[in-house]
Structure 1
Amino acid sequence: MEYGLYGDRSHAFLDETRSGKFLTITQFPEMVRYKARFVGEELMEEYPRVEITTPEGKVVDWGDEDLIREIENKSKRKVSLVKYTPSYVPLGAIEEEHIQLVTDASLLKLKEIWGKEVNYQRFRPNLLISLKEKVPFIEETWFGRRIKIGREVEIQLKRHCERCMIVTVNPDNAEQDSSLLKTLVQQRNNHFGVYASVIKTGEIHVGDEVFLLE
């Protein structure tokens, strides 16, 4: 989609203790343990039903009153819900562009620098690209260029992604480790991953070939 991947940022919690702000992992780290997915056909006219699995394994629908109370009790914040449409989704609380991508080579290098295993989901990328030639951080040399994904989609690489405390939250258990952010600040000028904007929309699939265009 013009705003990024279909459904990305389509449903959100508004933090009523901060006017006009979203509730994110920054304020509520355990949010990372809630998993959401679409159930049903992904239409252009409306989103399918959203199903959420809580950390305890309970499955509820978006808007479930018990879920809202649980989020409020755990985060100690009053929240409300906001939902957009498939034709328009604004940038969210932390994004500066519609697409963020990381590469497997950069992840391997970061593991070496940090000295610990790195789950790519810490960085919440839309796309994880596997490089044929494993050159770390080569994506940072692509700014201003386009890449083609599959047969239709083209995106343009824009700039560095500057990281925040969200990367310190383990996506598996919500435990925090500030040393990862400190490592990025010291070794990478707090940069990891790159932002891109959508040039041509279309369908992409896991396993699609990716081409760097001249």
Structure 2
Amino acid sequence: MLIGHIKKIIRHPVKSFGGESVPKTNVMEYGLYGDRSHVFLDETRPGKFLTITQFPGMVRYKARFVGEESMDEYPYVEITTPEGKTTAWGDDLLREIENKSKRKVSLRKYAPSLVPPGAIEEEHIQLVTDASMKKLKEIWGQEADDRRFRPNLFISLAEKTPFIEETWFGKRIKIGRDVEFEIIRHCERCMIVTVNPDNAEINAPLLKTIVKERNNRFGVYASVIKTGEIRVDDKVYLLD
């Protein structure tokens, strides 16, 4: 059954940095190609990543791949700082993040063929729908930028039924010719949604609204069943 089409594909080459909206990408066994493949390890919390939760200013950095996707090596990762300077993934960026976060951190990069669980999210893919986004804005009474929720896929529904994606648990969706995902469960939210992606200012009432009105749930997680290429405007089907 046709349920809509892909409106946006968003990947985050650097975990907790702003991502890039791309016209197409490969879906790997772990999720979108290169998604959260470059991470900062928080040496003050052994085994943990440095994220927006510890340093909200990370959200003001933007990362994108420059070049064609390769299974041997990632394209060049271009970082744009909050000050508008462009730099590369490397020691200069490391020192800047350490200075601003006031934490000792280290860099790690995972291979294009395998990004381990936890670097991306709790599941392979997070998706939200336009109808649910519109309804949340109504509930909250303010504009709610979808970047706050850091989805991988933004689906435009054929029938604008808010939160209908929560009825898909245990079912599969197909995108384009080959790619299939299984919808797994709710995405439970944390303080990251309160951080404005443009200026890193915190707006606590948004999370309080989601907790009160949505039992702290917005968006859903999905696992990759079949890999392949997806494109913006690809049709999305709910499989029997």
What's the TM-score bracket when you normalise by the shorter of the two chains? over 0.9
The aligned runs of 1:41-190 (5 Å cut-off) are 41-63=68-90, 65-92=91-118, 95-190=121-216
Greater CA drift, 117-126 or 40-49: 40-49
Q: Is the 8 A contact 2:66 2:75 kept in 1?
A: yes
User: 1:94 deviation in Å?
Assistant: 7.3
In the superposition, relative to structure 1, how do residues 168 and 77 fare at CA in structure 2: closer, same or farther (>3 Å)? same
Would the aligned equivalents of 2:36 and 2:120 in 1 still touch at CA under 8 Å? Answer: no
Structure 2 gap ranges (5+)? 1-27
1:161: Cα distance to partner? 0.5
Measured in 2, the distance between the counterparts of 1:29 and 1:205 equals 31
Which whole-Å CA distance do the structure 2 matches of 1:32 and 1:17 have between them?
Answer: 20
Specify the code of the residue in structure 2 equivalent to 1:5: L
Matched-pair contact (CA < 8 Å) for 1:101–1:126: yes
Moved over 6 A (4+): none
AA paired with 1:12?
Answer: V
Residue aligning to 1:37: 64
CA deviation profile, 1:8-57 (whole Å, cap 9, x unmatched): 01100001110011000000001001001111221011111111000001
Alignment gaps of 5+ in structure 1: none
Report Cα offsets for 1:66-91 as digits up to 9, x if no partner: 32111111100011000001111012
- Higher mean Cα deviation, 44-53 or 84-93? 84-93
Q: Which amino acid aligns with 2:218?
A: F
**Of 11, 25, 31, the match for 2:38:** 11
Residue identity matched to 1:43: S
Whether 1:21 aligns to 2:43 is no
Q: Name the counterpart of 2:8.
A: none
Secondary structure of residue in 2 paired with 1:204: strand
Output the CA distance in 1 between the equivalents of 2:36 and 2:55. Answer: 17
Distance (Å, rounded) in 1 between the aligned partners of 2:117 and 2:64:
19
CA distance in 2, matches of 1:90, 1:170: 28
The alpha-carbon deviation at position 92 of structure 1 amounts to 2.8
Find the counterpart in structure 1 of residue 9 from structure 2. none
Is the 8 Å Cα contact of residues 24 and 93 (structure 1) preserved in structure 2?
no
Identity of aligned residues (%): 79
Is the partner of 1:130 in helix, strand or coil? strand
Amino acid at match of 2:167: T
- Greater percentage in strand: 2
SS in 1 for 2:206: helix
Q: SS at the partner of 2:230?
A: coil
Q: Kindly indicate whether the alpha-carbon contact (under 8 Å) linking 1:99 and 1:195 is maintained by their aligned counterparts in 2.
A: yes
Asked if the contact 1:150–1:210 (Cα under 8 Å) also holds between the matched residues in 2, the reply is: yes
2:76, 2:120 → 1: CA distance?
A: 25
Q: CA RMSD in A?
A: 1.0
- SS of 2:116's equivalent in the other structure is coil
**Whole-angstrom CA distance in 2 between matches of 1:104 and 1:91:** 27
3-state SS, counterpart of residue 212 of structure 2: helix
In structure 2, distance between residues paired with 1:58 and 1:91 = 31
Asked which structure has the greater RCO (Cα within 8 Å, sep 6+), the reply is 2
